[in-house]
Amino acid sequence: MIDTIDETKEFLKKDDYRLVDNRTWDEHIGKEGGYSYHKLKGRIEGAVYGYAGKTDSNSMDYYRNANKTMRNGYEILSMWKDDCKIDLNNHLAFMCGSGWRAAETYWDAMVMGLDNTSLYSDGWIAWSNEGNPYVTGDPTK
């Protein structure tokens, strides 16, 4: 299932929905934009940090082994539950900046047998370009 911007706005109002931000921490908190061609920085309010790469918008270090294969599914699930505090009983919609990192994470979720998931493919770039509200800063503080 692929979610549109309008659907995502409605879904964010639900208690059993989590928008999982699969970008770097610096992108998530608005320290970096992640893309040379897109200057807006921040995150969609209500999105939870779901990890992606450690360095830049071209990496998926937290989801891949050194040989670029998918990391062990149990390790990913543990990361989501323990580090991200994501309740796997909620609907999980994956997003990133432009779509490819979220698509990879969505695929991983399907491989792990999670079926209450979707892809918000428009991502941060489309969200912010349309003038939708967003936030910056460390959400844990």
The CATH fold assigned to 2-129 is: Oxidized Rhodanese; domain 1 (3.40.250)
Contact between 11 and 19 under an 8 Å Cβ cutoff? The reply is yes
Q: Residues with catalytic annotation?
A: 96
131 dihedral zone (left: phi>0; alpha: psi -120 to 50; beta): left
* Mean pLDDT value of segment 1-16: 96
Q: Residues 59-74: pLDDT tens digits?
A: 999 999 999 999 999 9
pTM for the complete prediction?
A: 0.94
Whether the pLDDT of residue 141 is over 80: the answer is: no
Domain chopping of the chain, boundaries: 2-129
